[in-house]
A = this chain, B = another copy of it.
Amino acid sequence: MAKEEASTGVAVRLAARDGTLNGVTSGLAPSYLQANLIVLPSRYATDFRLLCARNPVPCPLLAESAQIGSYDSLKSYIDGLKGDRIASDIDIRHDAPRYMVYQDGRLTTSHITNIASQWTEDHVAFLIGCSYSFETALIDDGLPPRHTVMGRNVPMYRTNIPLCPAGAFTGSTYVVSMRPYKRSDIERVRDITRPFVTTHGEPIAWGWHGMRNLGIADINSPDWGDAPVELDGQPLDSTNEDVVPVFWGCGVTPQEAVMKAGLKGTVLGHAPGHMILLDVKDEDVFTIA
């Protein structure tokens, strides 16, 4: 679908639902909230809520299925917003452009266009904030993320930073997204993204030293998304101290947690970069403590 057709959250959901849209959602419906998806067997729901409460930066919980088995109605965790304001016409099974399927903690199917046949009455869906939400604010302030300029998917990486465990969820680590910036712009980038507390907020690390602290060996080999490119089309260079990587918590973290914890049964998620769009706009959740 053309970008100009995808001007609202519901338009993007309907395009994904009818198969018109099956690519990444970065840049679509600017200022509408995009959400990461994780769908769990109901016996893991309590532990997962606790995982989010203990790790709100990578796992900011926006909403979940209104009841066990609900794929078309939501319970909201956003102050003052009811579930039907988050997404009034939603089908969790179809409204992300692409999905992943995990069986007993292992990825078994990748990038399928719907999960209608995998969804059961025992599944609970959780929607997690996404850092795409603050990209509009960065663009508006003259600091567009590199991948949006290049029309690519944001690069995402596994790290060695542990999540605080919660019940069945042990041994998990942060996943981060990365946007390169000039070192002299980092404080402005921090300030702009800080208020987006339900969508990962300010960066968790920056610079080449920050990258090594996260346990990332090669910035040009992301685990998901597209390899980052510099303004002139060159790869990022760890000897260049002027342009450095900046890392945010990433909503792919719960899918990694499912694998690390070896959860039993069928777990479903969006394909990284292929988000579910909501009816809520960024300004509705733009808050700071």
Decide if A249 is an interface residue (CB 8 Å cutoff).
yes
* Contact A194 to B213, CB < 8 A, known contacts A56-B56, A289-B53: no
Instruction: Please give me the residue from chain B that is nearest to A249 by CB atom.
Output: B164
Complexed CA–CA distance, A46 and B288 (Å): 9
- Residues in B with CB closer than 8 Å to A201 are 50, 54, 164
- Flag the segment in A66-74, A87-95, A202-210, A259-267 that touches B: A202-210
Q: Which residues of B contact A57 (CB under 8 A)?
A: 54, 164
A229 within 8 A of B: no
Q: Which has the most chain B C-beta neighbours within 10 Å: A57, A161, A204, A213?
A: A57
How many residues does chain A have at the interface if contact means C-beta atoms less than 8 Å apart? Answer: 26
Name the distance in Å between A168's Cβ and chain B's nearest Cβ: 11
Known contacts being A194-B167, A288-B46, is A205 close to B162, with CB within 8 Å?
Answer: yes
Task: Determine the residue in chain B with the shortest Cβ distance to A288.
Answer: B50
Q: Which of B49, B56, B162 contacts A204 (CB 8 A)?
A: B162
- B56 contacts A53, C-beta separation under 8 Å: yes
Residue contact B164 to A50, C-beta cutoff 8 Å: no
- Is residue A165 contacting chain B, with contact meaning CB distance below 8 A? yes
* A166 contacts chain B at the CB level, 8 A cutoff: yes
Interface residue A227 (Cβ < 8 Å from any Cβ of B): no
Residue of B nearest to A48 (CB): B289
Are B161 and A162 in contact, CB atoms less than 8 angstroms apart? yes
Residue A197, interface by CB 8 Å? yes
- List the interface of chain A (C-beta within 8 A of B): 46, 49-50, 52-54, 56-57, 161-162, 164-167, 190, 194, 197, 201-205, 213, 249, 288-289
